[in-house]
Amino acid sequence: MRIIYLHQYFNTLEMSGGTRSYEMARRLVAKGHEVHMVTSWRDQKDDKDWFETKEAGINIHWLPVPYSNHMSYGQRIKAFLGFAFSAARKAASLKGDVIFATSTPLTISLPAVYAAKRLEIPMVFEVRDLWPELPIAIGALKNPLTLIFARWLEKWSYRNSEAVIALSPGMRDGVVRAGYPVERIAVIPNSSDVDDFKCNEITAKDFRHQREWLGDRPLLVYTGTFGRINGVSYLVEIATQLKKIAPEVRILLVGGGLECEDVRAKAQISGVLDVNLFMQSAVPKKDMPALLAAADMASSLFVDLPEMQANSANKFFDALAAGKPVMLNYGGWQDDLVEATGIGLVTWQLSFEEAAREIASAIQDKDWLKKASKASKNLGQKLFDRDTLACQLEEVLLSAQKRNGGKAQEISSGDFLKQAKEIFKTDKNENIKN
């Protein structure tokens, strides 16, 4: 197949942020497909025209469109629409067998549908967040006309898709609520790059020894965006409690975004910054394995909104790939997986003091860490391995190319809790036999 892949915020391994599209695209190339990625270059660049590079066999078409998490919502919408207009013509000029467009933003469907109609080829749409439910829930979309347009765009995007890929069971349910047939939806979540995240004791020790404040102390890390929906200040509250009950536990926040300085200021005022809570800027994805190798526990955070419980955060799956226990502060399908498999702990609906005590108890318990780490690695390998999920994506695209999008649900229905329970039940039975 010749695949025209649209992702406005595509990242290579040299960039910070999620690399799902890069990892999926390079695997499609390895399977013999030709992939053309249509994306944006977010850093400042004097030349505003399209330019091309080639990464891991992927033909990448970049359009300079400045963007950052520090931009206002109005500036972001302008960036979304500006890219959509130019990407429509670029995608239509490339020719191909199938269009594959991945959100966010939802406006990526505008150039995707345009190109699909011009080229008379099918489109597959990937839903990474519950748009527009999420921006509505956090107050980013308030204008009545904007809300009407967002709802229309959501349904229009699905209606023009041969098949839809949802990154979680909750996202699938959201697509169904919009009127799209469930049999045309495959659930393919973010994935665990198990081979890339193999624990390296040497790099882990180097990471720790380079930081005098860490040494051999227990370490909880957060790696990701400091945005409104992430609620990273949660860990400042936890650090405040840990300072009193378990002062040796360290928390490291890695990343950047709109609320980074607010988090830093709160940590300073709370008396935990550079005491038991530390911050550093985002690192490229290629450096993430060393960071997680040094951690005892990784965290995934979101503000407590029902719309956030359908998330498929990369940090959750990176923790599994690295074989690290994961701490969640929200409910939903990942909460169910953690509770059913013992891969970490959930502090959702606990007070800060209660949550801190749970974390302190777990992260200082060598036996618990060993057991949870093993379970985490097991789940990442057997249920969320990137190679397996890339094969599912390829199958969806091939089916769509043949105008057989109704096969999508058969490829991956998204019943991960049932599958996880079966995996751990089988492993338990095998251990008893042995």
Write the pLDDT tens digit of every residue in 141-168: 888 888 899 899 999 999 999 999 999 9
Q: Considering Cα of 381, then 191, then 53, then 37, what sign does the dihedral take?
A: positive
Does a structural domain hold residue 429?
A: no
Residues 211 and 269 in one domain: yes
Does a structural domain hold residue 428?
A: no
Residues 132 and 175 in one domain: yes
Mean pLDDT, range 371-392, rounded to an integer: 97
Residues 50 and 122 in one domain: yes
Residue 73: what pLDDT? 65
Does a structural domain hold residue 432?
A: no
Structural domain that includes position 59: 2-191+385-417
Q: How far apart are CA 7 and CA 103, in angstroms?
A: 7
Residues 350 and 263 in one domain: yes
Residue 72: what pLDDT? 65
- CATH code of the domain in which 131 resides: 3.40.50.2000
Alpha helices for 8-55 (secondary structure H): 20-30
Task: Name the domain boundary from 368, 383, 398.
Answer: 383
Angle 364-190-392 (CA atoms, 0-180°, nearest 5)?
135
Residues 247 and 364 in one domain: yes
Asked whether the predicted pLDDT for residue 433 surpasses 80, the reply is no
Residues 84 and 132 in one domain: yes
Residue 362: what pLDDT? 98
The answer to whether 126 and 165 are in contact (CB under 8 A) is: yes
- Helices (H) then strands (E): counts for the chain: 17, 14
Residues 177 and 252 in one domain: no
Residues 216 and 364 in one domain: yes
Where is pLDDT greater, at 69 or 42?
42
What does pTM read for this prediction? 0.93
Where is pLDDT greater, at 116 or 75?
116
Question: pLDDT grade, residue 430 (50/70/90)?
Answer: low
Residues 114 and 255 in one domain: no
Residues 357 and 409 in one domain: no
Residues 395 and 365 in one domain: no
Domains held by the chain: number: 2
Q: How far apart are the first and last CA of the chain?
A: 46
Residues 182 and 211 in one domain: no
Asked whether the predicted pLDDT for residue 434 surpasses 70, the reply is no
If 0-12 CB within 10 Å is exposed, 13-18 middle and 19+ buried, where does residue 126 land? buried
Structure tokens at 92: 């239509």
Candidates 335, 360, 332, 333; CA nearest to 346 is 335
Lowest-confidence segment of 1-15, 70-84, 185-199, 304-318 by average pLDDT: 70-84
Does a structural domain hold residue 246?
A: yes
